Amino acid sequence: MNKVLLVGRIANEIKLITTQNGVNLIKSAIAVRKPNSSSNDAEFIEVIASGTIADFISKNVAKGTLVSLEGNLTSYKFRNKTGSLLKITYVNIQEINVLQKAISYNKQSTEYDNSKKNTIEDIPTAELIIED
């Protein structure tokens, strides 16, 4: 059985891509807490969705949104521009539930409260790099 269940925050902006075959895709990452971690360290797991699920995500999910998702682990190999063989592993989303919308903030504010402890909600996001 190949089944993955994750709960975490979307780590980057969602961008809908249409393939040459006319299939809609989204590629992103989800930040999830590391298991057995006493702090709020996170793992960034690449996720991909297609079809109607990709359409739903592109319209209803933004960076920072808390989601639960179900899918399967998939991987593929490819050669990059330098000829190196790379292996990409990602979760192919089959079902997603929005648990909490992304929290909006004032981008003009530059104040930082040093007394506040960082939590999973404060994790800086990683940009997902996918080479075609």
Structural domain containing residue 23: 4-102+111-122
Q: Is residue 127 part of a domain?
A: no
User: Does residue 12 lie in a domain region?
Assistant: yes
Tell me if 98 is assigned to some domain.
Answer: yes
Confidence label for 35 from pLDDT (cuts 50, 70 and 90): confident
User: The domain that contains 50 carries what CATH number?
Assistant: 2.40.50.140
Using CA atoms, how far residue 64 sits from 52, 60, 76, 98, in Å, is: 21, 12, 27, 11
* Total domains, the chain: 1
pLDDT at 105: 54
Evaluate whether residue 65 is within a structural domain.
Answer: yes
What average pLDDT score do residues 9-14 get? 94
Residue 93 — pLDDT band, cuts 50, 70, 90?
very high
